[in-house]
Structure 1
Amino acid sequence: MFVFPLAPLPENNVTLTMRWVACLYFTITVTTGFGQGEDELRKSIYFGGGSFYIDEYQADDLIHWLDSIPDLLSKYEIHLISHTDPIGGRQYNEWLSKMRSQAVQELLLQRNIPEHKISIKDWGLENPVYRNDSRRGMSMNRRVDVILYPIVF
């Protein structure tokens, strides 16, 4: 019998994934709405292959998330980090990454978030978070991460 004590999980946006590995042990991955920093907030917008179109559901979800954060503009820096899968080569993915971050930026500008409050980093196919050896991994790398870092006073 195996007993695995677990620490209490955060209450916000928790996804718990269990995966059996070689039937000997399993790994647990916990993803929260928070990133590495305690007060860092993160939301990802996902795209279809070769696309920089933001579907209506994700646009509404992002706007609802941003509207739920009190004092957003006075307490947080807004960073957009864009990624792609490797299909299409380096030059194409650099362009696509830039188009994706601009699409998200345009959505933020339409919500009256000033341009000077938005920082952008386009990674293209560099620094993938997920492995690109499966359809799922590639689909998870086709995204823009909207990261809110607390402003330090």
Structure 2
Amino acid sequence: MLFVLPAVAKAQSESPDEIRMSIYFGGGSYDIDEFQATELYHWLDSVPNLLEKYQIHLISHTDPIGGKQFNEWLSKMRSESVQHLLLNKQIPEHKITIKNWGLENPVYSNQTYSGMQMNRRVDVILYPIVF
């Protein structure tokens, strides 16, 4: 069963120079719908001098349904799906780093259905390159 959230949510930055957006997934899924892929591409295009000024970090999360081993695999598959979109956008692989949290370190509470929905995501975070 697939749920629908606002497809793309832009979270508040944790630091003033950090820019981020999130890609959300259905339960047990690592498929990215066309709308979210298009939104990701538009967002990347809106960042001036993206490749010269930023390093891209992909941080993947899951809900706890399915257990630890399944969610480690699912987290990896989700981040690889987003990485594939970035590579198709001609982002060099060396500009991308990945952290797969799986069900560990949830940002939202997994005690509620809405919290679990919000944890089914990959955060795409642009960190400025310090010269």
TM-score normalised by L of structure 2:
0.91
Question: Which position in structure 1 is the counterpart of 2:33?
Answer: 55
CA distance in 2, matches of 1:61, 1:54: 11
CA distance in 1, matches of 2:103, 2:70: 10
Question: Which position in structure 2 is the counterpart of 1:75?
Answer: 53
Is this contact kept in 2: 1:83–1:124, CA < 8 A?
yes
Shift of the 75–109 alpha-carbon distance from structure 1 to 2, 3 Å rule, reads same
Deviation at 1:34, TM superposition (A): 4.1
Local SS of the residue matching 1:119: strand
How many residues are treated as equivalent by the alignment? 123
Structure of larger gyration radius? 1
Choose between structure 1 and 2: higher helix proportion: 2
Question: Which position in structure 1 is the counterpart of 2:6?
Answer: none
Q: Deviations over 1:76-117 (max 9, x none)?
A: 010000000000000000000000000000000000000000
CA distance in 2, matches of 1:129, 1:33: 12
Deviation at 1:61, TM superposition (A): 0.5
Is 2:70 the partner of 1:92? yes
Deviation at 1:135, TM superposition (A): 1.2
CA distance in 1, matches of 2:99, 2:83: 12
% identical aligned pairs: 71
Is this contact kept in 1: 2:32–2:81, CA < 8 A?
yes
Local SS of the residue matching 1:48: coil
* Structure 2 residues without counterparts, runs of 5 or longer: 1-8
Deviation at 1:33, TM superposition (A): 4.7
The Cα RMSD (Å) is 1.2
> Larger relative contact order (C-alpha < 8 A, sep ≥ 6)?
2
Q: Deviations over 1:46-91 (max 9, x none)?
A: 0000000001111111110000000000000100000000000000
Is this contact kept in 2: 1:34–1:40, CA < 8 A?
no
Is this contact kept in 2: 1:82–1:97, CA < 8 A?
yes
CA distance in 2, matches of 1:142, 1:34: 18
Is 2:130 the partner of 1:152? yes
* Structure 1 residues without counterparts, runs of 5 or longer: 1-30
- Structure 1 stretches (4+) deviating beyond 3 angstroms? 31-34
Deviation at 1:32, TM superposition (A): 6.5
TM-score normalised by L of structure 1:
0.78
Shift of the 32–64 alpha-carbon distance from structure 1 to 2, 3 Å rule, reads closer
